[in-house]
């Protein structure tokens, strides 16, 4: 039961991926089959979207393919006709382009992802001896600009939880509506702030994933791997209050046959008795964060950063933080919490004394 949502999600991703793959050149099938063991369904779906844009660009803008009528005309040998100049022009094209009647724009981050897809695509066929050289390896990736890490300070954490509990900032009508989701919202925010799980992991949680005897729960990480995490007493109390009260009353008002299989065991439910969505969680966080930290753009990921920062400040163990957050590479963790390492360096500078301050000069 606990894995029903994950299975249904992956099945839907697989259906969408097959539909997009049918629009791509036939030889691309080899690529998707080959990378299946080492990638997640969502990663492969994003690759398919990116490659659809890439081949559409080649078809409409590269002279070597001006006689082609559609994407099905491309073969693996055509990869040899693509020059470094074509790829550089494609990077520039990604700044603004039209596809299927819709205009799109990409900044450096979006460009980098789409170019990374192309490089992975070429590398696969080169490594499998399907093309003699890999021209994409010469392509310089867009420069990535480091962004300031935004997180909540301790007093802002208290304020966001208080905002969810009291709803003082809302109108009378809004408070009446929010009264039906107050316990859920508090539990959700407390869980995100108290464990640092991703929003996708949060919406995927089911009642069967939680063990209140050990204060532990199972999450499905990026890539499909499962991990057992633990939560403190504050998270425990908030979850139990929601599950035994507001959630139970919501379920009791419905016939069991009216609730979908993927929703029946969901931890967090909407008022329509459906598993809460990622977009809904984002809106919940934003609604209360505006009151807690009006100058900061707070998302569920920023609550994850807040947890990681607090854990690092409390332990000073970057490897522990990486493990709990599910980072495969500790350098990812270091990048996000470099500012805290700087705090430690400042403290170290004040701790070491060269002279006894009590000794008279």
Percent above pLDDT 70 for the chain = 89
Percent above pLDDT 90 for the chain = 68
Q: What pLDDT score was predicted for residue 345? A: 61
Secondary structure element (H or E) that encloses residue 106, with its range: none
Which CATH class, in words, describes the domain spanning 154-348? mainly alpha
* Cα angle 242-248-252, degrees, rounded to a multiple of 5: 160
Q: Which residue has the tokens 């999450």?
A: 219
> If you average pLDDT over residues 120-139, what whole number do you get?
96
Q: Which one of 1.10.3720.10, 3.40.50.1260, 3.40.50.880, 1.10.150.130 gives the CATH number of domain 4-138?
A: 1.10.150.130
For residue range 249-297, what is the model confidence (pLDDT) as tens digits?
Answer: 999 888 666 788 778 899 999 999 999 999 999 999 999 999 999 999 9
pLDDT band at 334 (very low <50, low <70, confident <90, very high): confident
Spans of all domains in the chain: 4-138, 154-348
pLDDT band at 9 (very low <50, low <70, confident <90, very high): confident
What strands lie across the sheet with 226-230, from one edge to the other?
210-211, 216-220, 226-230
Q: What pLDDT score was predicted for residue 7? A: 83
> If you average pLDDT over residues 344-353, what whole number do you get?
60
Mean pLDDT across the chain, nearest whole number? Answer: 89
Q: What pLDDT score was predicted for residue 231? A: 95
111 backbone dihedrals φ, ψ, rounded to 5°: -60, -45
Secondary structure element (H or E) that encloses residue 329, with its range: none
Q: Which residue has the higher pLDDT, 58 or 40?
A: 58
Maximum average pLDDT range among 100-104, 115-119, 319-323 = 115-119
Region of residue 327 (phi > 0: left; psi between -120 and 50: alpha; otherwise: beta): beta
Write down the pTM of the prediction: 0.79
For residue range 45-63, what is the model confidence (pLDDT) as tens digits?
Answer: 999 999 999 999 999 999 9
| DSSP E strand stretches across 31-128 | 96-99, 102-105
Give the DSSP letter of residue 204: T
Q: What pLDDT score was predicted for residue 1? A: 43
For residue range 214-235, what is the model confidence (pLDDT) as tens digits?
Answer: 999 999 887 678 899 999 999 9
């Amino acid at each position: 039961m606990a894995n029903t949502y994950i299975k249904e999600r992956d099945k839907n991703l697989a259906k969408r991926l097959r539909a997009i793959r049918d629009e791509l050149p036939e030889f691309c099938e080899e690529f998707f089959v080959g990378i299946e063991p080492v990638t997640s369904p969502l990663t492969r779906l994003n690759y398919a979207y990116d490659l659809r844009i890439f081949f559409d660009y080649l078809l409409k803008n590269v002279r070597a393919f001006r006689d082609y009528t559609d994407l099905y005309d491309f073969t693996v040998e055509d990869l040899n006709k693509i020059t470094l100049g074509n790829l550089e022009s494609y990077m520039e094209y990604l700044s603004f382009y039209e596809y299927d009647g819709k205009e799109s724009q990409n900044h450096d981050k979006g460009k980098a992802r789409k170019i990374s897809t192309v490089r992975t695509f070429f590398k696969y066929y080169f490594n499998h001896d399907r093309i003699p050289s890999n021209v994409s390896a010469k392509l310089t990736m867009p420069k990535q600009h480091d962004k300031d890490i935004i997180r909540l300070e301790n007093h802002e954490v208290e304020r966001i939880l208080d905002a969810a509990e009291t709803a003082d900032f809302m109108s009378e009508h809004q408070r009446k509506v929010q009264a039906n989701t107050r316990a859920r919202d508090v539990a959700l925010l407390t869980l995100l702030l108290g464990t640092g799980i991703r929003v996708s992991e949060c919406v995927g949680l089911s009642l069967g994933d939680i063990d209140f005897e050990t204060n532990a729960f199972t999450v499905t990480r990026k890539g499909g791997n499962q991990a057992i995490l633990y939560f403190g007493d504050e998270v425990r109390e908030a979850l139990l209050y929601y599950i035994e009260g507001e959630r139970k009353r919501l379920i009791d008002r419905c016939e069991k046959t009216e609730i979908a299989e993927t929703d029946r065991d969901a931890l967090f439910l909407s008022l329509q008795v459906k598993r809460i969505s990622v977009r809904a969680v984002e809106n919940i966080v934003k609604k209360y964060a505006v009151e807690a930290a009006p100058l900061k753009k707070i998302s569920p990921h920023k609550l994850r950063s807040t947890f990681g920062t607090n854990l690092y400040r409390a332990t000073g163990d970057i490897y522990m933080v990486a493990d709990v957050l599910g980072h495969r590479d500790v350098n990812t963790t270091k990048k996000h919490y470099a500012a805290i390492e700087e705090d430690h360096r400042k403290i170290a500078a004040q701790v070491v004394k060269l002279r006894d301050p009590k000794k008279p000069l």
